[in-house]
Amino acid sequence: MKLIFSDQAWEDYLWWQSDGNAKGLERVNTLVLATRRT
């Protein structure tokens, strides 16, 4: 499966990685992994 982010979603994801909320990033990564398993 190919995971595709919209431009805004990708910018948000990069923000979470650099300056953002670590809990938010962890949650997004968990959701991405769960999606890829199905």
Cα-Cα-Cα-Cα torsion 5, 9, 13, 18, nearest 10 degrees, comes to: 130
Mean residue pLDDT of the chain comes to 87
Higher pLDDT, 38 or 10: 10
Res 20 pLDDT > 80? no
SS (H, E, C) 1-38: CCCCCCHHHHHHHHHHHHCCCHHHHHHHHHHHHHHHHC
* Percentage of the chain lying above the pLDDT 90 cut: 32
Res 35 pLDDT > 90? no
Name the burial class of residue 12, with classes exposed (0-12), middle (13-18) and buried (19+) by CB atoms within 10 angstroms of its CB: middle
Give CA–CA dist 33/19, Å, rounded.
Answer: 22
- The whole-number average pLDDT for the span 10-31 is 86
